[in-house]
Amino acid sequence: MNSRKDIVIICLAALLLAVTAVFAAAKLGMMEIGFIRPIVLDPQATAAMFPEINGAPKGVIYPSTPSPSLEDNAPDVPTPEENEDGWDYDLFTTIDIAWDPVLKEYVPKRRKVIPLPPFGVSLAKVGHPRYPYILRFSIMGRKGREEIDRKFVIENLETKQYYDGCRIGTPLDANTPVVPVSFAVVKEKDKDGFIVSRNVLRLEDKKLGRTVEIDDVKPVEFSDQTDILLVSTSEPDKSWTLHAPGDKFTYNDALYVVKGVDLAAKTVTLDKTFAPNPKKPKKTFTEVLAIPSAKPAAPAAPAGPATPGAPAPGTPPAPTAQPGFPPGFVLPPPQ
């Protein structure tokens, strides 16, 4: 068989079957032969079939949008508003910036420089606290009662007040809760190897809640404690006493924190956290505070001609009687 003839025969048979099917459908009324007419819906039939067409709309009514107008009534594009920080942005204008080492951030170059407020506090004192009382000297009692009737003279270095006639077991006075409890003469070697003696008086300080040994050589320092005295630079009557790194206080909406203490250099490192600009986050500034040095004394005026009976220039003043002692009694100089 010829394969080409077979293909032609199969195609003719398929075409014949298709024509036969079309005529059969037309004969049975399933298909209309001729031009296809457009579908035209009958309004009445459609309304009867779909009653929702004539009903009220359901759901949320979408807001109407005004139609655009061809009239040019739109305002001009406003220029960028200037602000106090100098960040004035524009479409085609860049901002020149610079690094501010104080604020530690980038700022516009043309920004008005606003200086930072003062640090606010200064260092008045730092070191181990010194006990204010020192033994000036003691007076033995009469023969046979030397130690029982021994009396002591104690000075308060802060108030410059002397307490004379102090005895063991008796408070210094009615308003001072400090009581001498024992006395001893201690002999020891100095740095050169010589034996020296010092008078040691033990005091029970009820205000501090501890017993302190004082002598007639030098004031006692509490090496187990550090006092840091800070004073406001604008309000001298305001002060704060801190003791160790980590101690903190608040003043004028700023938080101050002690970061370090150098007793040898007499300095304190302090952090101050506040908001230089209320519209921006807070920043921390660190300063090393030192005790202000005393101003040098003004030169003395030249001495005029000596008057009769006046002491010569450079002569030390005559000793004066101390309060609480009989007239003519003078304390010996401290050892």
- Tell me the pLDDT tens digit for each residue of 76-91: 555 555 555 665 655 5
Say how far apart CA 137 and CA 134 lie, in whole Å. Answer: 9
User: What single-letter DSSP state applies at residue 42?
Assistant: -
Q: Is beta strand 210-215 parallel, antiparallel or unpaired with respect to 267-274?
A: unpaired
Say how far apart CA 222 and CA 219 lie, in whole Å. Answer: 10
Joined tokens for residue 292:
């202000």
- pLDDT for 163: 94
Angle in degrees, CA 267, 269, 273, rounded to 5: 150
Q: Which residues of the chain have pLDDT under 50?
A: 326, 329, 334-335
User: Cα(first)–Cα(last) distance of the chain, in Å?
Assistant: 147
Q: What are phi and psi of 178, to 5 degrees?
A: -125, 125
Joined tokens for residue 260:
């370090």
Question: What are the structural domain ranges in the chain?
Answer: 1-34, 121-126+225-290, 130-215
Instruction: Return the beta strands (E) in the chain as ranges.
Output: 97-100, 105-108, 121-127, 133-139, 151-156, 161-166, 178-189, 195-205, 210-215, 227-232, 239-242, 248-251, 254-262, 267-274, 283-290
Where does residue 273 rank: exposed (0-12), middle (13-18), buried (19+ CB within 10 A)? middle
Counting DSSP H helices and E strands in the chain, the numbers are: 2, 15
Question: For residue 227, what are the contacts with CB-CB under 8 A and spacing of at least 6?
Answer: 125, 126, 127, 128, 129, 241, 242, 243
Say how far apart CA 256 and CA 260 lie, in whole Å. Answer: 12
3-state secondary structure of 191: coil
Q: Report CA 209 to chain centroid distance, whole Å.
A: 34
Cβ pair 47, 54 in contact under 8 A: yes
What residues does 105 pair with on adjacent strands?
A: 100
Joined tokens for residue 114:
């606003």
Summarised one tens digit per residue, pLDDT across range 152-180 is 999 999 999 999 989 999 999 888 899 99
- pLDDT for 69: 67
User: What single-letter DSSP state applies at residue 276?
Assistant: S
If residue 17 lies in a helix (H) or strand (E), which one and from where to where? helix 3-28
